[in-house]
Amino acid sequence: MTSNSPRLSIGLPVYNGERFLAEVLSNFLAQTFTNFELVVCDNASTDGTQQICLDYAQRDQRIQYFRNPINLGAVANFNRAFQLSRAPLFKWAAHDDMYRSTFLETCVRILDANPDVVLAHCGSTFVDENGEAFPYDNATLTYVDPYTGVHQTPDSPAIGDSPHAAARFWQVLAGARWATHMFGVMRRDALAQTRLIPNFSGGDRAMLAELALLGRFQSTDEILFLKRFHEHVSWALTQKELKGFLSTDGKAYSRRVRQLQAFYSAPRGKPVGLFTKATCVAMVAAHSAKIALQALGQKDAQNAAQGSVWRSKNRVSALDRHAALKATAAVHHRAQHLLRHGVIAVTRSPRIEVLPSLSKSCRRNRNGDRM
């Protein structure tokens, strides 16, 4: 590495990301750690992505812009971003997430202080399309999705932090629901020993499982990474749409089979003993049984239903729906009260009439008297 080479490469794959791209580029240019290159890999976008990238590249020479002649699919584009980079440290970045200004500095400091750590990350939270944080529920220690009302839990910062390889493998396998650790800062030589991201839904977790067998992960509890929810986010897609998003080769395949193949083969070629490899295989078998039960419970259908809410053009926040229901209930209760006291009457026509003999009483009550 020459004196002019960056310490860190940021690989930013993007396709039609004009809505959020400028914000994340600005996030990185505002980082307190500045010795990096930012490799933007445009997957043949058809919106204003290219012009945004060219404008930022002209503004800052650390930004390198590459454009694929055709859409390779998200997986191939993520892996290409790594292949185009050159620094000894690497991180992937999605075009729609957000970062606090000390994210890179914090992660690099962790790696510098701990030679056995292969991935450094920070605490995470969830934000909506406007960058507004999800409400936090202190009772359940979860974040509340404002549109579905579903309680969401970020991946634990402790994932992958065990001194034992098999334990780290299990932490990723069973605990990395969002796989947000893949957006941490990694050692290039360790990541190069994995097969990178395989082509199926959840391939990022398979990559993390391989990486966990090569060394520890370490994260701070400080929330410096903000995962954004919006109507075009990948988890909101149907399985058919997701396959087309991840790869454009059009090949039919079983997602479950590819997942099992990736996790079962993850220990192969890793510097761990036979006992650890056998333990990892047993863990995959146990976890796959759990996943099969979830499939019977239509877990995918539940996730798809949540995603469809975010994709709805007329979505209303769960908090607003709750307030509307509460207001409707109050009106219904008031109407029942007035009926019982003879203040109003229901006629044959579809309307409610105030009884003339009680209109004066009604006026008094509207002026503040209790009934």
CA dist., res. 294 & res. 27, Å (int)? 38
Report the pLDDT value the prediction gives residue 326, as an integer from 0 to 100. 53
Report the pLDDT value the prediction gives residue 364, as an integer from 0 to 100. 44
CA dist., res. 179 & res. 210, Å (int)? 13
Q: Do the bridges between strand 136-137 and strand 216-228 make them parallel or antiparallel, or are there none, so unpaired?
A: unpaired
Task: Check pLDDT > 70 for residue 369.
Answer: no
Tell me how far CA of residue 211 lies from CA of 149, 217, 338, 341, in angstroms.
Answer: 34, 9, 68, 72
Report the pLDDT value the prediction gives residue 366, as an integer from 0 to 100. 42
Tell me the pLDDT tens digit for each residue of 38-86: 999 999 999 999 999 999 999 999 999 999 999 999 999 999 999 999 9
Report the pLDDT value the prediction gives residue 367, as an integer from 0 to 100. 42
Among 187, 196, 181, which residue's Cα sits nearest to residue 227? 181
Residues of the chain with CATH 3.90.550.10: 8-311
Report the pLDDT value the prediction gives residue 347, as an integer from 0 to 100. 47
Class of domain 8-311: alpha beta
CA dist., res. 330 & res. 332, Å (int)? 5
Among 101, 14, 74, 78, which residue's Cα sits nearest to residue 49? 14
Question: Across residues 12-30, what is the average pLDDT?
Answer: 98
Calculated CA dihedral for residues 255, 256, 259, 263, nearest 10 degrees = -170
Please give the single-letter amino acid code of residue 293. Answer: L
CA dist., res. 238 & res. 37, Å (int)? 34
Element (H, E) at 138: none
Tell me the pLDDT tens digit for each residue of 149-167: 999 999 999 999 999 999 9
Among 180, 172, 11, which residue's Cα sits nearest to residue 79? 11
Task: Check pLDDT > 50 for residue 361.
Answer: no
Which long-range contacts (C-beta less than 8 Å, at least 24 apart) are formed by 275-280? 276/165, 276/166, 276/213, 279/166, 280/166, 280/169, 280/170, 280/213
Tell me the pLDDT tens digit for each residue of 239-260: 788 788 888 888 888 888 999 9
The pLDDT-based confidence of 261 (bands split at 50, 70, 90) is: very high
Lowest mean pLDDT among 172-176, 262-266, 363-367: 363-367
Q: Do the bridges between strand 36-42 and strand 98-99 make them parallel or antiparallel, or are there none, so unpaired?
A: unpaired
Higher-pLDDT residue of 59 and 366 is: 59
Task: Check pLDDT > 70 for residue 318.
Answer: no
Report the pLDDT value the prediction gives residue 241, as an integer from 0 to 100. 82
The pLDDT-based confidence of 358 (bands split at 50, 70, 90) is: very low
Lowest mean pLDDT among 70-74, 104-108, 301-305: 301-305
Tell me the pLDDT tens digit for each residue of 186-206: 999 999 999 999 999 999 999
Higher-pLDDT residue of 81 and 304 is: 81
Report the pLDDT value the prediction gives residue 174, as an integer from 0 to 100. 94
Residue 82 and residue 75 in contact, taking contact as beta carbons nearer than 8 Å: no
Report the pLDDT value the prediction gives residue 290, as an integer from 0 to 100. 79
Report the pLDDT value the prediction gives residue 164, as an integer from 0 to 100. 97
CA dist., res. 245 & res. 269, Å (int)? 30
Q: Is 0.85 surpassed by the pTM of this model?
A: no
- The conformation of residue 178, written as its DSSP 8-state character, comes to S
Per DSSP, the three-state class of 62 is coil
User: Please, what's the b/e burial string for 316-329 (b: 16 or more CB within 10 A of its CB; e: otherwise)?
Assistant: ebbeeeeeeeeeee
Among 282, 280, 260, 262, which residue's Cα sits nearest to residue 272? 280
Report the pLDDT value the prediction gives residue 91, as an integer from 0 to 100. 98
Sign of CA dihedral 304, 307, 309, 314: negative
